[in-house]
Chain A
Amino acid sequence: MLLARLLEEKLANLYRAGKINGGVFLGKGQEALSASLGMALKKGDIFAPLIRDQAGRLAFGEDILDAVRTYLGSKLGPMRGREGNVHRGLPREGRYAMISHLGAMISAVCGGLMARRFQGQTGVVGATCVGDGCSSTGAFHEALNLAAVEKLPLVLVVANNQFAYSTPNDREFACKNLVDRAIGYGIEGHTVDATELDACLDVVGRAVERAREGRGPQMVVATLLRLAGHGEHDDAAYIPEALKNSPTGRDCLKVAECTLMERGWASAADLEAWREETLQQVEEAVATVQREPAPDPAEETWCALSTQELDDTFRA
């Protein structure tokens, strides 16, 4: 959580300094939920993270350099400058690389799980995380229904952070709680207050276990507030103060730190030391990547096919 937060704060600073091409999208406020999912998954599982899942990516094994390289456009990164920011992954290691189109990754995870089933692998879980706005897409519905029909071990986490870009929940859906949809799909649904790390670890962890045990798709609907703009270009002036000051608006990282101190598991000095150590890690990663080369158009194949001889424009 802490690493994700500090890494993203650094990326936001770099963005403001004009050092990043394209946008920067923060998972601020969503770290407890996302990290809980990443931690509940095991090696060999499938995870398709979305824009606010820096914490989950790291927890599921992403190298911090992969994130920094993709944001800064290093040619040594997993996407080699062809893709930026959150659009990254190493599918063969179970970390699918999201496309922008919301909802599209859910069915890809379903297909990954179908493949594992064809291959005779059991005990595998596939997970993905989407926002409240994504729940309005046709792709979301198609994929969840498919997962239910096939009884796939899918864990779908819906992070209801109250806004889809600037659009509040009441313009996005009309049901009382998105978790009610689970009944309609014939799958198990769970809710969680995503400002509480404890609760996230518990609810998400159990959902992953239930999927692994063969109880079919699990839907977790988490309540939280996006503590940043949609991207760093957005001041989020549309978020009401009252909501920010409500329990939903709490910062999961601060809540977790308080809990640690209350329980005597860490002192203020420990927290400060962790922060220093983590900041150091972030600074080192950024310094490393800043020395790396950018992609060179002359080195590109300019071919989208793996079977290059079948690209009839390639000879040109």
Chain B
Amino acid sequence: MITYLEAIREAQAKALADDPRVYIYGQDVAEFGGAFKATKNLASAFPGRVLNSPISEDAMVGSAVGAAIEGMRPIVEIQYADFSTPGFNQIVNHAATLYWRTQVKCPITIRLPSGGTAGSGPFHSQSMEGVYAQYPGLIILTPATVEDAYSMLLEAVAIDDPVLFCEHKYLYYHLKAEGLPTEALPVGKARIARQGRDATVVAYSAMVHEALAAAEELSADGYEVEVVDLRSIKPLDTDTILASVARTGRLLAVGEAWPWGGVTAEVVARVASEGFELLDVPPRRLNAKNTPIPFHPNLWGTHRPTAPTVARALRDLLRL
């Protein structure tokens, strides 16, 4: 069995082995193996290519841009997605604009350990994908499975544009698979995680699993809910979403990020503007509550969408 976290490590090992232009740069990533051990043993297996950085997110990303200009393919590990904010400027203004401004490609992968785990509080739990998605020039991946964590990270490193790889910390240890995949859907294609006919839930990252559990609950009542795993939120696979809504007539978009704007708003907006006639009832969104992310597990468990709240939203959508 291999975990989501091990898949991320294996993908990095393969990227380092396959391509001498790849290196890893981040806090504590060298001998220590990273705060989550996502780079365990890589420093010894690839001497000189897994480097500890100072706690300088701006300079970490800025240096990756310079290295990319010179032909490297850096992987930057931000210790927690929350701490990408000091590097925000380099991500959105430098990495994301480089190709458009200069025609020089910027193949950097920024790993953002994202999302909440019990007890992590306001500054170690954030889901930043929607914030970054607003900016042109970035690719944003949100793998929900062990297989995708592996194959999409390899793809991220191969893509010639800056990629934010939003790996979910809750899934690190909770998800396991039999082995690593040998083939995968390409970036930009969503996956039907569960087929259904009565309603569509569009989700990504850890929320896919809450949606699947909610769908299971509703199937006991005889309702078949389709779950679309977006896999990447930028690009967003509008075609797969619309095709699903065409089958079900009902849409619920679920995200762990905050409710103002963001991925769920984009999904609903696209369906409303491109597939309004497919909808039998008004589309709905379910997001985290509009406060910082609370520390205590009781509060945290209510702050973010969970299988029970997804199921409740689905019952509303189905007018049950």
Contact = CB atoms under 8 A, between A and B. Distances in A.
B56 A90 contact: no
Given A92-B69, A146-B56, A312-B237, A108 B188 contact: no
Contacts of B61: 107
Interface string A125-148: 000000000000011001101100
A99 B53 contact: no
Q: Which of B23, B59, B99 has the most CB of A within 10 A?
A: B59
A202 interface: no
Given A108-B62, A112-B69, A99 B56 contact: no
A97 interface: yes
Given A139-B58, A306-B161, A310-B161, A112 B101 contact: no
A101 B95 CA distance: 13
A83 interface: yes
Contact of B137 (A46, A109, A305): A305
B94 A145 contact: no
A138 B63 contact: no
Contact of B65 (A90, A108, A309, A311): A108
SS class, residues of chain A in contact with chain B:
helix
Contact of A304 (B71, B99, B187): B99
B67 interface: yes
A91 interface: yes
Interface residues of B, number: 51
A82 interface: yes
A246 interface: no
B70 A311 contact: no
Interface string A54-70: 00000000000000000
Given A82-B101, A306-B160, A312-B234, 10 more contacts: A79-B101, A92-B69, A105-B62, A107-B58, A107-B59, A107-B62, A115-B71, A143-B62, A146-B53, A312-B237
Interface of A: 46, 78-79, 82-83, 87, 89-92, 96-97, 99-101, 103-116, 118-119, 138-139, 142-143, 145-146, 149, 304-307, 309-312
Interface of B: 23, 48-49, 53-54, 56-72, 74, 86, 89-90, 93-94, 96-102, 104-106, 136-137, 139, 159-161, 187-188, 234-238
16 contacts: A79-B102, A89-B102, A104-B62, A107-B60, A108-B66, A111-B62, A118-B23, A138-B58, A139-B58, A142-B54, A145-B54, A149-B54, A307-B159, A307-B160, A310-B161, A312-B237
